[in-house]
Structure 1
Amino acid sequence: MLQENETLSEYSFERRFDERGAIEWMQANWSKAFVFSALYAALVFGGQHYMKPRPKMNLRRPLVLWSLSLALFSIIGAVRTGSYMLHILSSSGFRRSICDQSFYNGPVSKFWAYAFVLSKAPELGDTAFIVLRKQKLLFLHWYHHITVLLYSWYSYKDMVAGGGWFMTMNYVVHALMYSYYAVRAAGLRVPRPFAVLITSAQIVQMFMGLAVTGLVYRWLQHGDCPSRIDNITWAALMYLSYLLLFSNFFYQTYMRPHSAKTSKAE
């Protein structure tokens, strides 16, 4: 276990955060993620049915505020978890950055680890804007929201290896993604390469997720990388499905010839 380093400056709320109580709460309540997921699915598809005969809503201002709030949260989370990840990498190396559990209870990161897993519940609200504005709802969108919520809550309670990488990468990608959404919602034009960059970053995230999961499985055999086979299995299936879905989205959106899209539409 890594010891607190004086070079890591903490805010008072980070220092006072009771990670033991948070972990115990999650151990007792993590299955509620299934309830949230069921309610989410019912509201999403019920909402689509409700909106079908009705005009789409203009929610530009609420969407700007929503996206900006999540962007700021993700940026701060990326900075704080990223600083702790760099600390582990520089002081103990790559292997410890994957296998060390101090990400869940160490200085700086412990608050942001818990904030990360809790945030997956309110992030379900993203879909409300799609439904109420009658935009196209992709399978990738709602599948991703549900599975991330379930896996995050399922994993946090056991403080499994690899979590530091999973959370830090997700914070970074969401910082980019929600910033993009906020700018777009404000009516500002964003150069196409930025959208390509975000999807590319998501694909890299999924590839890295698979790689980290594979290393956890390999080092689990040595006894110093705490996890379980069932968790590793779910993580591998989740990241593999994301990799395939995001890669397909990238191809369909940025690489597929326009003529092919046109002919299919006709």
Structure 2
Amino acid sequence: MPTSATQVFPVYLYDYFARGYELVTGHPADSFEYVRGETLLSTNRESFAIMMAYFVVIFGGQVVMKNFKPIRANFLFQLHNFVLTVISGGLLLLFLEQIVPIVREHGVFYSVCNSGAWTQPLELLYYLNYLTKYYELIDTVFLVLRKKKLEFLHYYHHSLTMLLCFTQLNGRTAVSYVPITLNLAVHVLMYYYYWRASCGVKIWWKKYLTLFQITQFIIDLGFVYFCTYTYFATAYYPHLPNMGTCTGTETAALFGCGLLSSYLLLFIQFFFKTYTKKPVAGQAAPAKKTA
């Protein structure tokens, strides 16, 4: 239980979460421990099997749906997006409640690099966030049922984000909270957008949601590149300027850097492809409005 000086919100949300967790699982929240090979979905075999099943379902589903009319499933689609809006918002608040006191008391560097910042409550939240990535795969199933085009960015991002959370959980990278909290903030807005749009509400800020996603990856990369650099500099090139070692495995660090870099490039490409319209051949581009 936090003190009044470290409490982030008027009430300690984690207490309510812990009661709900025990009610659902039958185990106290403070007894959770992520154990590779024992905890559900904690092995390479499980994660890769589900990823392969995901690709079989979506691409096989496209073949099957060629013989059928689109299935809108509006109510289920709305419910799915509403549930993910609530889950993302709840997890975001729980993460902030745990992270903010650590940053206040020890500073940003400690929070992203010290093993002490990998607490038991955060480990449980990291694990639950990882599980949501499996549920989010249903996003693509709705696209298949509706006979929408599957963009490479969509299934690449959905499938590999699941693996990203898996590797960081196994690697115990303290900096994980940065991309996770930013991603949860994006998902609150994104799933709210899809929920309201599916209800027939016109929302004008979709373009800015993509810009938010791009900004998210820029911030993510600033943190993960820094943490990876200072770790490798300390471990292998101590003559280089560094701030000391950083907790987490080398595999997790390198995978995170590589994947987040690819996300940034793909989202920038998507933004220009979607929101930068080229004039039709033989037609002059319309004049831009000026103030």
Report the equivalent of 1:61. Answer: 75
**1:19·1:105 contact (CA, 8 Å) conserved in 2?**
no
RCO (CA 8 Å, sep 6+): is it higher in 1 or 2?
A: 1
Report the equivalent of 1:208. Answer: 219
Give the 3 Å change call, closer, same or farther, for CA 13–189 of structure 1 in structure 2.
closer
Report the equivalent of 1:247. Answer: 268
Q: Percent of aligned pairs with the same residue?
A: 27
Unaligned runs of 5+ in 1: none
Q: Say whether 1:17 aligns with 2:17.
A: no
**1:67·1:181 contact (CA, 8 Å) conserved in 2?**
yes
Give the 3 Å change call, closer, same or farther, for CA 200–26 of structure 1 in structure 2.
farther
Report the equivalent of 1:195. Answer: 206
C-alpha distance in structure 2 between counterparts of 1:19 and 1:126, whole Å: 32
C-alpha distance in structure 1 between counterparts of 2:47 and 2:211, whole Å: 29
What amino acid is the match of 1:85? I
Question: What's the offset of the Cα at 1:20?
Answer: 4.7
Residue from 240, 247, 253 that aligns with 1:232? 253
Of 238-247 and 164-173, more deviation after overlay is shown by 164-173
Give the 3 Å change call, closer, same or farther, for CA 78–47 of structure 1 in structure 2.
same
Deviations 1:56-99 (A, max 9, x none): 01211110000000000001111221233322222222212211
C-alpha distance in structure 1 between counterparts of 2:32 and 2:69, whole Å: 48
Deviations 1:183-209 (A, max 9, x none): 011111111xx1112111111111122
Give the 3 Å change call, closer, same or farther, for CA 19–180 of structure 1 in structure 2.
farther
> What number of residue pairs does the alignment pair up?
255
Bigger-Rg structure (1/2): 2
**2:207·2:275 contact (CA, 8 Å) conserved in 1?**
yes
Give the 3 Å change call, closer, same or farther, for CA 74–13 of structure 1 in structure 2.
closer
C-alpha distance in structure 1 between counterparts of 2:49 and 2:167, whole Å: 13
Of 127-136 and 206-215, more deviation after overlay is shown by 206-215
Structural RMSD (CA): 2.2
Residue from 74, 84, 87 that aligns with 1:70? 84
Report the equivalent of 1:112. Answer: 125
Unaligned runs of 5+ in 2: 20-27, 235-243, 284-291
Q: SS of 2:33's equivalent? A: helix
TM-score (norm 2): 0.80
Of 213-222 and 200-209, more deviation after overlay is shown by 213-222
Question: What's the offset of the Cα at 1:12?
Answer: 4.7
C-alpha distance in structure 2 between counterparts of 1:28 and 1:65, whole Å: 25
